[in-house]
Amino acid sequence: MSTGKPGAAQWREAGFTFAFALAGATLMLLAPRLIQGYNPDQPYYARSAFFPWLALSLVVLFGGWSTWQAVRGVRRELSDELDVAHTSVPRALAGAAVVGLYILLCAAVGYPAATCACVFLLARQTRLSRAASLLMALVLTATLYLVFVVGFKVWFAPSWLAGWIR
């Protein structure tokens, strides 16, 4: 990486990453109002907003870091870590769509079902076999359930489907 006077591309990058950092900070502040089942009397690690706060804090941290680098004019050198010949924009966009679907499914059917379905879809997208994808989805979902619900005693917000059935 080298530094220099920031050009138009760096200023656009700075604006873009600053907007992400600002959106993350705004969502962190709004999280208690946006999350059903939020209980401020619970310990911080058991609140339903803990993991969204954690993820959003990373958005704020790295958005701020990238903004700072862009404003300073840090130019990133190309890396040989990614083989451009083997990258696929459609596959990357499909992966982003699955993450968007995950957000909707979490609210609609709950975290365990959404996690299992989306891990399965992402594994299939990477061309794993159906059996391996299903095994990965089930094992990861069970592990996350054990860590969060049994270990941390964090109960996820009820889904729309659960509310509708009641």
The pLDDT, as a whole number, for residue 140 is 95
- Asked whether residue 69 falls in the same domain as residue 116, the answer is no
Question: Secondary structure of 59-86 in the HEC alphabet?
Answer: HHHHHHHHHHHHHHCCECCCCCCCCHHH
- Asked whether residue 8 falls in the same domain as residue 66, the answer is yes
Per cent of the chain over pLDDT 90 is: 33
Q: Does residue 83 fall inside a structural domain?
A: no
- Asked whether residue 68 falls in the same domain as residue 116, the answer is no
- Is the overall model pTM greater than 0.85, yes or no? no
- Asked whether residue 164 falls in the same domain as residue 93, the answer is yes
- Asked whether residue 21 falls in the same domain as residue 69, the answer is yes
Segment 72-76 mean pLDDT: 77
End-to-end CA distance of the chain, in Å?
A: 57
Residue 143 has pLDDT above 70, yes or no: yes
- Asked whether residue 144 falls in the same domain as residue 94, the answer is yes
Q: Residue 42: give the domain boundaries.
A: 1-77
28 closest CA partner among 4, 59, 2: 59
Determine which of 1-10, 37-46, 125-134, 141-150 has the lowest per-residue pLDDT on average.
Answer: 1-10
Number of domains in the chain: 2
47 closest CA partner among 63, 28, 61, 60: 28
pLDDT of 96-142, one tens digit each?
A: 899 899 988 988 898 889 999 999 999 999 899 999 999 999 999 99
The pLDDT, as a whole number, for residue 45 is 67
Rounded Cα distance between 96 and 67, Å, is 23
- Domain endpoint, select from 77, 109, 127: 77
- Asked whether residue 60 falls in the same domain as residue 103, the answer is no
What does the chain come to in residues?
166
pLDDT of 41-70, one tens digit each?
A: 877 666 767 778 888 899 999 999 999 988
- Domain endpoint, select from 27, 42, 77: 77
Rounded Cα distance between 66 and 62, Å, is 6
- Asked whether residue 18 falls in the same domain as residue 56, the answer is yes
Residues in contact with 28: Cβ distance below 8 Å, sequence separation at least 6, in sequence order: 52, 53, 56, 57, 60
The pLDDT, as a whole number, for residue 23 is 93
- Asked whether residue 73 falls in the same domain as residue 97, the answer is no
Question: Residue 17: exposed, middle, or buried by beta-carbon count in 10 A (0-12, 13-18, 19+)?
Answer: buried
- Domain endpoint, select from 77, 110, 130: 77
Average pLDDT of the chain to the nearest whole number: 83
- Asked whether residue 51 falls in the same domain as residue 94, the answer is no
Element (H, E) at 87: none
Rounded Cα distance between 129 and 28, Å, is 38
